[in-house]
Structures are given as structure tokens and as C-alpha cells.
Structure 1
């Protein structure tokens, strides 16, 4: 189903399934989704951090129970993912602060800073883990 075109105009589709034929992938769209997703992940990670602090306050038995999960492979993977989410959210938040003052809106700059945010988040994560593991 299409709308009635004006004289000389191309008819526009009304159905959302047509979106795939007309929409081109943009890194900024992916980064926007990632920013929201990492925000949710940070809330979940903060709840896990609070449970770890409560276990410390609860005494050696509680701490041992939680520590076993944190030191397991899946706990380390979650901790690494949470660290990356913190770094990504921080770097992208700085990018958004520049947008708030009206800088970096052109497509070329937005794309370049998007790639910079991703690279910086991985570098920041690697640096934090290197500091934690080898310091």
C-alpha cells in the first residue's frame, strides 16, 4: 500500500518491512543502541557490586560464597564485560557532552568520534585490567 503521490513525486511505502530496502547502516545508530544497552548493564553490574559488598559485610562465609563466583571463569567474563561497559559509557558520555555544546554533529566527525569511542573503550578496559592484574 502506498500513499497517493504528488505530481512528479515517487510513491512512499507505508509498511515498515520496506525499511531494509531504504535504510543504510550507520555506526552512530549502533553506538546509540550500545550506549543504552551498557546503561542497563551498568545498573545490573552495580547490583552485583552491592551484593559483593554486602557479602563482605556479612562475614567470611558470605564472602567465600560470593568470591567463588567472582573468581570463576564466568564471573571474570562478567566482570570484564562490566568494565568495558563502564569505559564505553564514559567515553561515549564525553562524546555526548561535546554534542551538548554543539560540536561534532557533522557526519564525518560523528563517524570518526564513534570509532574513537569504541577504540578508547577497549584501550581503557585493557589498561584497567592490566593495572589490576599486574600492579
Structure 2
């Protein structure tokens, strides 16, 4: 008896490129991981700013100059978007855990809702704060 022929295919859907066509659900999954890790940058900048206030006025002046510069504004704005996106993606996964929204059209609508909703909520946050 001959052995069945093995089909050569990628082991992971994250092999985006010639083996795997990116789908909205995979992109939003990867984006959730990236935003979760990216929130560390904004948190570290905020903690450094608070820590510098406890160290000395000179050190606080340096940290405050960085935090209030264009770079600090960019980091905090990106962190606000990442926080909203991560929050909405978490709500989406709670919905999935209830066994709902698992069909492809609904999953794609929820993915777009997370992306668009996070941008809208970030703009509202920046305007209000």
C-alpha cells in the first residue's frame, strides 16, 4: 500500500504573502495584538512624566518638554486610538464568546465597526480633552 501524498501548505494563516490572502478578520486580529503592545509606549511616557515630577524640577522640565512636544502629542494620540481600538475589539470578542457573530459577513461588519468606531471615538476624545 502506498502512502498518501502530502499536500504542501503553510502551517499558519499569518504567513501573509504568497500563501495567504489577508482577510479583514486576520488583519483586525493582528491589529489587536499590535495595539495591545503599543499601549506600553504611551504608558511608559506617562509614567516617566509622573516619575520625573517626583525626582527634580530640572528632570521634570525635560520630561514635560518631551511629553508636550509633537512627539508626545503623537504618542498620546496614537495611544488614545489604540486604547479605543483594543477596547472595541475586546467587546467584539466577548460577542464572539457568546457564540454570536461568527459568520463571515457579520465578523467583517464587526471588524469595520471596530476600526471606524475607534477612529471616531479617538477624534471625540481629542476634541473633548
Alignment TM class, shorter chain as reference? 0.7 to 0.9
- Higher Cα radius of gyration: 1
Please list, as runs of the form range in 1=range in 2, the aligned pairs for 1:10-89 lying within 5 A after superposition: 12-14=7-9, 20-21=17-18, 23-89=20-86
Question: What's the C-alpha RMSD, in Å, of the aligned pairs?
Answer: 2.3
User: Is the Cα–Cα contact under 8 Å of residues 39 and 82 in structure 2 kept in the other structure?
Assistant: yes
Distance 2:9 2:102 in 1: 29
Deviations 1:24-82 (A, max 9, x none): 32101011111001111112322222111112223432221111111211221111111
5+ residue gaps, structure 1, are: 6-10
Structure 1 residue 4 displacement after superposition: 4.9
Q: TM-score, normalised by structure 1?
A: 0.80
Moved over 6 A (4+): none
Give the number of the structure with larger relative contact order, counting CA–CA contacts within 8 Å between residues 6 or more apart: 2
Unaligned runs of 5+ in 2: none
Asked if 1 retains the 8 angstrom alpha-carbon contact of 2:45 and 2:67, the reply is no
| Structure holding more helix per residue | 1
TM-score (ref. length: structure 2): 0.84
